[in-house]
A and B are shown apart, each in its own frame.
Chain A
Amino acid sequence: MNFKRVSRTLDPSARKEDKEKLSRWSGVNASRRDELDTITSLWEESRQCVLFEGIDTEADWGKVRQKLGTPLETRHKVIPFRKYLIRIAAAVLFAAGLSLALVMILRHDGKNPSYYLSFESLGQVKSVQLPDGSVVTLNKNSSLWHNRDFNRESRDIILQGEAYFEVEHNPQLPFRVFTGNSLVEVTGTRFSICEDTSFVRVLVLSGSVSFQLADNPKIATTVSKDESGYIFRDNTLEKQQQVNINNISWKTGQLVFHKTPVVYALQDIAHHFNKELSVEASLNDSLTAQFTEQSLEDILEELQLITSLSIHQTDNVIVVKP
């Protein structure tokens, strides 16, 4: 196909001679005619394509993305600094302890300081690998934010909710987690942080972490393996020489009881399944058992056999009767 002659022929000022030549060429057989038809229809249809010109997919994707509204499930996204500040402000109001100075700590003067990455888990437990290789497992409905230059000048994170951390060792760049009014600082270890309405709890499974009030380094302690630390809403700190491994049952899928008073066991079970607990019986026994990835129904049935209590669940409540 001589595209040059075709293009000349398609122009309104085409010479008669060119048209005739083309017509002679295409008259030879059907496949040549088809080919000429194809080019001609491409030519005609391309005129209609002007309609595509004024549509800015990029800009309109931005609009749609905004309308989606709902946070996205552990897909990282970039949020502008102002929005980020608003979130921090909300967290400050909530925690009533996080100072604005903290925001400044987190705001590094990187090349593009106004952008942060966030991860949200919504209704599912989700794991996120950070740029330094550390892995954070977010419990349901939890979020974390970090600066874009995470792992360059700092390893700072803000957490809302509950998460389990497996931090890569790096003594040069401490890993810091701001949760509510608390700050946990580590160089590399395994621990979990839970933000409750009245406290922030850290639970350490290996190594040790420094645990302090975010805006007052004087109120601080070291929490080591198999210990847990609490910072309460009134800015007091408390350390316990034990961990309740069932506090991270959401991550491990395991509920473990070893000579545990039944009432505590029931509390852990209720918490694990996000239920209320109503006890209408006196519970003096203790329980030794292990449940792995079992349904609430299964667990309650087993418990009834072991304790000879009557245990039932209604919509949101586990009811225990003699």
Chain B
Amino acid sequence: MAAAAKIPVSLDGLKTGDICLFESLFREYYRPLVVYAMKYVRDTDAAKEIVQEFFVRLYEKRSSLAIDTSLKSYFYRSVYNSCINYISHMEMRNRHIKNLAMQSENEFSDNQVALIELQNRIYKSVEDMPVQCRRIFKLNRFEGLRNEQIAEKLGISKRTVETQISKALRILRKKLADYFPGGVQKY
């Protein structure tokens, strides 16, 4: 498992009301937590709302917090609980919706969290890629275009697209080296 976010995760800092620390926690965890919440509530706005509310609560009760797990697990666990709460509220209103909370795929699982964390790191690495490389990679992965279609759309050769895609893969592989041990093999 990869080393988690390299931001200060001391709860003591949070307890003193250090807004800068709080902000860095927000910046680190907001996106992955929203994506995580979306898996349960299947509504982007609701997911954002849930995570924002979580951070507000976290700040408000910072002095009485007693977290015996890691901050990261605490964050995901809390957001998970809020989601389940949200779902059951929705359900009371819409009885015809299946009981999502009861489905096994909706149980809290560390694997699910690990997957989101991996995706978050991939996303951050993509954001750090050089402009052209990032653009082409996103067109392929996010918009589902084939290399040929990308070449056409951007008016460049298919070979250039392939070069940029392979560059993107190389960057990803390098940035996530600690996530997947075992050195890069020579071809």
Q: Using a CB–CB distance below 8 Å, which chain A residues touch chain B?
A: 1-8, 10-13, 25, 31-32, 34-35, 38-39, 42-43, 45-55, 57, 60-61, 63-65, 67-68, 70, 72-73, 75, 77
Instruction: Tell me the smallest distance from the CB of B178 to a CB of chain A, in Å.
Output: 12
Complex Cα distance, B120 from A5, in Å, reads 26
Contacts of A63 in B (CB 8 A): 52
Give chain B interface residues in 50-80, CB to chain A under 8 Å. 52, 55-56, 59-60
Stretch of B6-14, B26-34, B85-93, B97-105 contacting A (4+ beta carbons < 8 Å): B26-34
Contacts of B3 in A (CB 8 A): none
A13 touches B184 (CB 8 A): no
B122 touches A13 (CB 8 A): no
User: Known: A12-B146, A42-B122. Contact between A55 and B176, CB under 8 A?
Assistant: no
Residue of B nearest to A14 (CB): B147
> In the complex, how many residues of chain B place their beta carbon closer than 8 angstroms to a beta carbon of chain A?
51
Q: Using a CB–CB distance below 8 Å, which chain B residues touch chain A?
A: 16-20, 23, 26-27, 30-32, 34-35, 38, 44, 48, 52, 55-56, 59-60, 115, 118-120, 122-123, 126, 137, 141-142, 144, 146-148, 162-163, 165-167, 169-170, 172-173, 176, 180, 182, 184-187
User: Known: A7-B165, A42-B176, A64-B26. Contact between A49 and B185, CB under 8 A?
Assistant: no
Total A-B residue pairs with C-beta atoms closer than 8 Å?
Answer: 124
Residue of B nearest to A43 (CB): B169
Contacts of B162 in A (CB 8 A): 4, 7-8, 11
B166 touches A4 (CB 8 A): yes
Instruction: Tell me the smallest distance from the CB of A219 to a CB of chain B, in Å.
Output: 41
Given contacts A11-B162, A43-B169, A49-B141, 4 further A-B contacts (CB under 8 A): A42-B180, A51-B38, A55-B31, A75-B18
Which of A7, A70, A75 is B169 in contact with, Cβ under 8 Å? A7
Residue of A nearest to B177 (CB): A38
B contacts with A: majority SS = helix
B35 touches A60 (CB 8 A): no
B31 touches A57 (CB 8 A): yes
Instruction: Tell me the smallest distance from the CB of A34 to a CB of chain B, in Å.
Output: 6
Complex Cα distance, B172 from A46, in Å, reads 10
Complex Cα distance, B140 from A42, in Å, reads 14
B141 touches A50 (CB 8 A): yes
User: Known: A1-B187, A52-B120. Contact between A38 and B148, CB under 8 A?
Assistant: no
User: Known: A42-B173, A64-B56. Contact between A55 and B184, CB under 8 A?
Assistant: no
